[in-house]
Chain A
Amino acid sequence: MNTALPALAIALVLLGSTSQGADTAYTGAACQAPMDTAFVEDVWGKVASQECLKCHKAGGDAEDSDFVLRDPSKVLGEARDEAMRHNRAAFIKMARASEGDQSRLLLKAQGKLKHKGKAVLKPDSAGYRILADFVKRVTAPTKPVEVAEDKNAPPFFDGIVMLDDRRLLRRATLSLAGRLPTDDELKLIQHDGLKAMPAMLDAVLKEDAFYDRLREGFNDIFLTLGIDGNADATVLAYEHFEKSRLWYQKEKFDEIADPKEKQQAKYRIAREYREALLGEPMKLIEHIVRNDRPFTELVTADYIMMTPYTSRGYGMFDQIKDRFKDVKDPFEYIPVRLTALKGRSRQTDQESASGFYPHAGILSTFQWLTRYPTTETNRNRLRARMYYQHFLGVDVLELAARVTDAAAVTAKCKVPTMEASECVVCHKTLDPVASLFQDYWVFADKGVYGRRKGGWFEDMFQAGFEGDDMPAAERWRSLQWLGERTAKDPRFAVAMVEHAYYILTGRKVLLPPKDLDDPIYNAKRRAYAEQRKQTEAIATRFAKNGFNFKAVLKDWVMSDFYRADAVASVAANPARRTELDDLGLAHMLSPEQLDRKIEAVFGEGWRKLHNGDGGLAMLYGGIDSKEVTERATDPSGAMGAIMRTMANDVACKNAARDFERPNDERLLFRNMEPDVVPGSMETDAKIKHTIAHLHERVLGRIDSEDSAEVARTFRLFTGILDEAKQKRREEQENYSCRPDPDHVRVADPHYTIRAWRAVLTYLLRRQEFLYE
């Protein structure tokens, strides 16, 4: 998530332009008036966007000063260039104004001249030096402007080897649909190369498995599955759904005679109902993407998703039952507009000019609001913070400003969040959004909707968004008002592109480096800038093409960032190595992804990597969406142990089983039999052929049969057989590795089944299998 979106975005748009005289503010169109790249890159990118813009903007704490800047991240195209020209002109004016023999710009930055923001830069800091250089340049206009970019730098992807097309296809189908590529797809990619990918991806993105992955990926971000308690009680409030939310308790199941069975049926219906309720927000995302609807509906959709079960909970089943294909399917979701909430007394009825609940996509769902509840003192600020993080990609607490004496500030002001500049800098942005949630003022376990007795707080900034006040008439639909603005905010598109990156790679996009004194700052910044350029390019296309989220996923898959796989030679230059530090997918599979991959390769999942009873998901770095919300990205020793268990167990279950299948149904050992032992050219070749097949199926490696990799695996296989022969082992496979529980112990006179099982164990422990 990025708190300082604007700076580099502009820098990137304008990089490559030549600079013009530093003494002249730009007036023409962007194409006619190239930008001062030194200003864009250094003054704006490294200092002003980080320090000055917080207050010196419309709606900011210093909006009444003579030095008001514009936030380029909130506009696109020419307006963005214009904002930067405005900012540069403002800086030049301030730099040239002097107090005594010093520039006011530098004095203010040091906290002098009654600067309300106090000292923001120390005179010995790199940031100060950048401003000082700028002052020097603009007060000596004849001096040529230095251009910040390094013209000698090679292209960023110079020397980077991209994943070959077949492996890219495998990566994409496994990642997005949890399956291996089909033979037809492989033929097509071999024949047509990369240009065949977009059409194939279009097909992949229509598969049901993709939507499972989509929901799982977005839950990693929104965490709405992490609601405490039973969803029928926490998501649906007693106040508004008293008569309907526990509908399942009235189900008799008279058709079931056996009491135990009847009880199980009751448990099941309750479980499925709750699961369906929790699933609604992610199903909304699925609905938008599946139907190619604009992804802005994430914050503007005027409906929620209901199933036959959940609609009963909302008390709407009778009105919509004809729209379901199967009213007994607990998980058939359809879009529905919820009628305005009716309270137990008229005072608690929801005000609604339309007669409907004012839906605003995910933002107004009971699940999102319950997952991020408010308290008396929090005043919806958690929701405001999560709003910024989820929908605009801004983490307002990411890098909180240091306050000289926060305790003193808190004590000296009656309302620090409105009076103390140290607090106002964030709260002026955060609190208006928090106030937009003012009518969702019911605390934990009691629901979400309800107005505060005595009216909303007056000692906080009132409802609005980024400087615009919400008109009073819009209060009943305040979240829709917010959603409409969110959809138009350029940061929304960027945030969604960042979410897509997270879903595909398991990590967040790079943040801009902060430490200007870091000797490898420039290398870090270039890495960030290149990735940012890609993000923005995809976001621009996303916005231009009607916010189709599938296009974003396709763009990322086709990008150099997703395809980068190796380097032609070791980067000897440490700066270059830093630039490449984050490049390459190298994503350790999550428990869910690993299980899907096992299923794709072996035809059946391991089924031990789930959450809950006996499951190993949490130990394998998974999340519970409640307290553990970040997936592990590197393997611990405990995870290393689980990898070993998994490899042992999956190999145990599948080696003998595959040999038992008819030859043309085998996944692993086609045209191979347990009596084929090494020793002749023919059998050695046959074994190597099988090994090459296993390398491709399990690892996704395309190794020739005479490659070193195949030779290594061959040595493992033959070495085991040789040693087994010398040791005269028993002639049966391990009892526990029977194809199924009813099967007798499998004969293995040559030890080959066990040797093949060892080969599988070895392959399952490799990075190529455990990572994507």
Chain B
Amino acid sequence: MNDKRRDFLKLCSLAGLGIAAPRTSRAETKETPPYAGPFYVVFNASGGWDTTYLMDPKGVDGINRLYQEGDILTQGAHKFAPTDKKKDGGMSNEEFYKDFGSELLVFNGLDYSVNNHSPGARYMATGKLDSLACPTFAALVAACKGPACPLSFLTFGNYSNTGNLVAMSRVPYLPSLKKVALADHLEGNERSPYHEDFVLDRIEQTLAEAHDATLQQPRLPRLERAENMLYAAQVNSKALQRVVPFIPKSIPKERMAQQAEIALASFAAGVCVSANLTIGQFDSHANNDRDQMKLIPEFLQGITYFIRRAEELKLRDKLVVIVQSEMGRTPTYNGGNGKDHWSIGSVMFLGPGIKGNRVIGATDAKQFARTVNPQTLALDDKGIRVRPEHVHESLRQFAGIDQHALAKKFPLGVKAPEMLKGFWG
């Protein structure tokens, strides 16, 4: 291959030719078989969680008013803050670590590099601070693994940029799922089709012919992309009827549980690859301990609900869980008993292929990030500051999409010596 040809192909790739807007013919957009996993779920504590009340306990220098260093608890390799007697509802750390500690991988001392919500949320979701185009990990993995799934990337909030790789689905309420599942039937009633089957078949066939004819004509890239996405959305939407058996009869009251049921029904039906679940109000400037002791337990309870329901639906062994926030909270209290933004934090993982009972990285006694040797993952003064791009590079490798053309379209810029070796155990 000569250089010119190589350059041309490289440019094609970078320009998204044949990637972001593939020409989808009829044959390619027939209803796809159910996506069988793995399923990726990102739990987001929106507003900035206080990691010293969860996986990175301190109890010194007035960092925490609710416990002292000696009160810190352990579960295997994990250290965590005691919350059982302080929490306001929800699930305590004690219960959470008892249930999941052996499966849990924690990274402490993550350097968010900024301490504003908007860039922090973007950075944590994508691994790229200085790009508004980069897709979130959840969107990217959906685009790589199941772009034809009708609800491939489901989001309930948080930064959800798709990089134009896959459509974002918002399904705010469980009943909404039912509404769209049987689109060719009056009021979703299976016994009342709008058209007889042979008529519907002919409509679909004519739409397919029109779609193919459209693609034969030279079109502006944007119009071509729109035509492809529209056609795929309509064809793939038929698969939504598979969701119906998985919609629970009663709707849970808790906000995370509602999101969980929608995501799990979509996973179980094989129509979804990834989901962003989120709860907000962690931005505890005004009264840190009160707010965090209400929200962290609620958050953990939501995660646990999700995992338990996944077990019931026999999805647990295909579920990759990422637990994150866009920033941490300062080691000191402000004048209003609150804590302000802190650019150091933590992230947790759990799922098949992730070796649990491990803690990588650390913060020092003043809650500053310790550097890590990327080859050994040990704390090392000559190591690197681990940032979201390092974690995301590892995530892409873990999901097996780091060499995918779509991932390469949005490189994270982590150099080989800085890649975290053996991160997943």
Point out residues on A near B: beta carbons under 8 Å. Answer: 160, 375-378, 397-403, 405-408, 410-411, 511, 514, 518-520, 523, 564-571, 574-575, 577-578, 580-584, 586, 588, 616, 618-619, 621, 627-628, 632, 634-645, 648-649, 651-652, 708-709, 712-713, 715-716, 719-720, 723-724, 727, 729, 734, 736-737, 754-755, 757-758, 761-762, 765-767, 770-771
B151 surroundings in chain A (CB, below 8 A): 636-638
Give B231-248 as 1s and 0s: 1 = Cβ < 8 Å from A's Cβ atoms.
Answer: 011111111100000000
B172 surroundings in chain A (CB, below 8 A): 618-619, 628
Query: Does the CB pair A583–B233 fall under 8 Å?
Result: no
Smallest CB–CB gap between A573 and chain B, Å? 8
Smallest CB–CB gap between B302 and chain A, Å? 17
Question: Once the chains are docked, how many angstroms separate the CA of A582 from the CA of B223?
Answer: 9
> Is B112 on the interface with A (CB-CB < 8 A)?
yes
Q: Please give me the 10 A-B residue pairs with the lowest Cβ-Cβ distance, nearest first.
A: A637-B150, A640-B233, A640-B237, A406-B343, A574-B11, A636-B169, A635-B233, A641-B180, A641-B237, A400-B119
Stretch with Cβ within 8 A of A (4 or more), from B188-196, B291-299, B347-355 = B188-196
Question: Once the chains are docked, how many angstroms separate the CA of A708 from the CA of B212?
Answer: 13
A566 surroundings in chain B (CB, below 8 A): 217-220, 223
For window 367-404 of B, CB contacts with A under 8 Å fall at: 367-369, 385
Query: Does the CB pair A405–B218 fall under 8 Å?
Result: no
Query: Does the CB pair B114–A400 fall under 8 Å?
Result: yes
> Is B24 on the interface with A (CB-CB < 8 A)?
no
> Is B113 on the interface with A (CB-CB < 8 A)?
yes
**Interface centre among A402, A636, A639, by most B CB within 10 Å?**
A636
Query: Does the CB pair B240–A637 fall under 8 Å?
Result: yes
Question: Once the chains are docked, how many angstroms separate the CA of A716 from the CA of B199?
Answer: 9
Query: Does the CB pair B222–A405 fall under 8 Å?
Result: no
Question: Once the chains are docked, how many angstroms separate the CA of A567 from the CA of B203?
Answer: 29
> Is B90 on the interface with A (CB-CB < 8 A)?
no
Query: Does the CB pair A727–B198 fall under 8 Å?
Result: yes
Query: Does the CB pair A644–B222 fall under 8 Å?
Result: no
Question: Once the chains are docked, how many angstroms separate the CA of A720 from the CA of B195?
Answer: 11
Smallest CB–CB gap between B418 and chain A, Å? 15
Closest A residue to B234 by beta carbon equals: A640
A410 surroundings in chain B (CB, below 8 A): 115, 330, 342-343
Give B163-204 as 1s and 0s: 1 = Cβ < 8 Å from A's Cβ atoms.
Answer: 010011111100010011101101000001011101100110
- For this complex, 13 residue pairs linking A to B, each with C-beta atoms less than 8 Å apart, are A376-B336, A399-B130, A403-B113, A580-B222, A618-B172, A642-B180, A644-B184, A648-B183, A712-B209, A719-B202, A720-B199, A758-B195, A766-B210
Query: Does the CB pair A736–B218 fall under 8 Å?
Result: no
Closest A residue to B231 by beta carbon equals: A767
Point out residues on B near A: beta carbons under 8 Å. Answer: 7-8, 10-12, 14-17, 111-116, 118-119, 129-132, 149-152, 157, 162, 164, 167-172, 176, 179-181, 183-184, 186, 192, 194-196, 198-199, 202-203, 206-207, 209-210, 213-214, 217-223, 225-227, 229-230, 232-240, 271, 285-286, 330-331, 334, 336, 338, 340, 342-344, 366-369, 385
Instruction: Indicate which residue in A377, A567, A618, A648 contacts B194 across the interface (CB closer than 8 Å).
Output: A648
Question: Once the chains are docked, how many angstroms separate the CA of A567 from the CA of B230?
Answer: 20
Question: Once the chains are docked, how many angstroms separate the CA of A744 from the CA of B239?
Answer: 35
A574 surroundings in chain B (CB, below 8 A): 8, 11-12, 14-15, 17
Query: Does the CB pair B180–A638 fall under 8 Å?
Result: yes
B220 surroundings in chain A (CB, below 8 A): 160, 564-567, 580, 583-584, 586
Smallest CB–CB gap between A505 and chain B, Å? 10
A408 surroundings in chain B (CB, below 8 A): 368
Smallest CB–CB gap between B45 and chain A, Å? 16
Query: Does the CB pair B342–A580 fall under 8 Å?
Result: no
Smallest CB–CB gap between A497 and chain B, Å? 20
Question: Once the chains are docked, how many angstroms separate the CA of A518 from the CA of B170?
Answer: 33
B223 surroundings in chain A (CB, below 8 A): 565-566, 584, 586
Query: Does the CB pair B111–A519 fall under 8 Å?
Result: no
Smallest CB–CB gap between B53 and chain A, Å? 18
B180 surroundings in chain A (CB, below 8 A): 619, 638, 641-642, 645
Question: Once the chains are docked, how many angstroms separate the CA of A565 from the CA of B344?
Answer: 49
Given contacts A397-B119, A518-B14, contact A377 B336 (CB under 8 A): yes
Smallest CB–CB gap between B142 and chain A, Å? 11
A723 surroundings in chain B (CB, below 8 A): 198, 202
B342 surroundings in chain A (CB, below 8 A): 407, 410
Query: Does the CB pair B233–A643 fall under 8 Å?
Result: yes
B229 surroundings in chain A (CB, below 8 A): 634-635
Given contacts A402-B129, A580-B221, A771-B230, contact A736 B206 (CB under 8 A): no
Given contacts A569-B218, A577-B15, contact A406 B113 (CB under 8 A): yes
Question: Once the chains are docked, how many angstroms separate the CA of A737 from the CA of B192?
Answer: 11
Given contacts A407-B344, A716-B206, contact A628 B11 (CB under 8 A): no
Question: Once the chains are docked, how many angstroms separate the CA of A173 from the CA of B52?
Answer: 58
Beyond A565-B223, A634-B164, 4 extra complex contacts between A and B, CB < 8 Å: A407-B343, A584-B223, A636-B151, A645-B184
Instruction: Indicate which residue in B116, B340, B367 contacts A397 across the interface (CB closer than 8 Å).
Output: B116
Given contacts A377-B340, A411-B366, A708-B213, contact A519 B129 (CB under 8 A): no
Question: Once the chains are docked, how many angstroms separate the CA of A639 from the CA of B169?
Answer: 8
Query: Does the CB pair A754–B199 fall under 8 Å?
Result: yes
Smallest CB–CB gap between A280 and chain B, Å? 28
Instruction: Indicate which residue in B213, B230, B340 contacts A767 across the interface (CB closer than 8 Å).
Output: B230
Instruction: Indicate which residue in B157, B237, B285 contacts A376 across the interface (CB closer than 8 Å).
Output: B285
A619 surroundings in chain B (CB, below 8 A): 170-172, 176, 179-180
Given contacts A376-B286, A736-B186, contact A640 B343 (CB under 8 A): no
**Interface centre among B8, B15, B219, B369, by most A CB within 10 Å?**
B15
Question: Once the chains are docked, how many angstroms separate the CA of A407 from the CA of B111?
Answer: 8
Smallest CB–CB gap between A609 and chain B, Å? 12
Query: Does the CB pair A639–B113 fall under 8 Å?
Result: no
Query: Does the CB pair A588–B203 fall under 8 Å?
Result: no
Query: Does the CB pair B221–A712 fall under 8 Å?
Result: no
Smallest CB–CB gap between A296 and chain B, Å? 28
Given contacts A405-B111, A586-B223, contact A638 B196 (CB under 8 A): no
Question: Once the chains are docked, how many angstroms separate the CA of A571 from the CA of B222?
Answer: 13
A570 surroundings in chain B (CB, below 8 A): 218
Smallest CB–CB gap between B338 and chain A, Å? 7
Query: Does the CB pair B194–A514 fall under 8 Å?
Result: no
Instruction: Indicate which residue in A376, A523, A638 contacts B240 across the interface (CB closer than 8 Å).
Output: A638
Question: Once the chains are docked, how many angstroms separate the CA of A580 from the CA of B150?
Answer: 28
Smallest CB–CB gap between B10 and chain A, Å? 7
Query: Does the CB pair B203–A716 fall under 8 Å?
Result: yes
Query: Does the CB pair B130–A736 fall under 8 Å?
Result: no
Question: Once the chains are docked, how many angstroms separate the CA of A771 from the CA of B340?
Answer: 45
Closest A residue to B21 by beta carbon equals: A581
Closest A residue to B340 by beta carbon equals: A377
Query: Does the CB pair B199–A514 fall under 8 Å?
Result: no
Closest B residue to A715 by beta carbon equals: B206
A588 surroundings in chain B (CB, below 8 A): 226, 230
Query: Does the CB pair A767–B227 fall under 8 Å?
Result: yes
Closest B residue to A513 by beta carbon equals: B133
Question: Once the chains are docked, how many angstroms separate the CA of A616 from the CA of B170?
Answer: 11
A716 surroundings in chain B (CB, below 8 A): 202-203, 206
Question: Once the chains are docked, how many angstroms separate the CA of A757 from the CA of B200?
Answer: 11
Query: Does the CB pair A377–B286 fall under 8 Å?
Result: yes
A644 surroundings in chain B (CB, below 8 A): 183-184, 234, 237
A411 surroundings in chain B (CB, below 8 A): 331, 366, 368
Closest A residue to B181 by beta carbon equals: A641
Closest A residue to B10 by beta carbon equals: A519
Question: Once the chains are docked, how many angstroms separate the CA of A408 from the CA of B368?
Answer: 7
Closest A residue to B196 by beta carbon equals: A729
Question: Once the chains are docked, how many angstroms separate the CA of A378 from the CA of B172?
Answer: 29
B132 surroundings in chain A (CB, below 8 A): 398-399, 511
Smallest CB–CB gap between A299 and chain B, Å? 24
Query: Does the CB pair A575–B181 fall under 8 Å?
Result: no
Closest A residue to B129 by beta carbon equals: A402
Instruction: Indicate which residue in A641, A734, A737, A770 contacts B183 across the interface (CB closer than 8 Å).
Output: A641
Question: Once the chains are docked, how many angstroms separate the CA of A514 from the CA of B214?
Answer: 34
B222 surroundings in chain A (CB, below 8 A): 580-584, 586
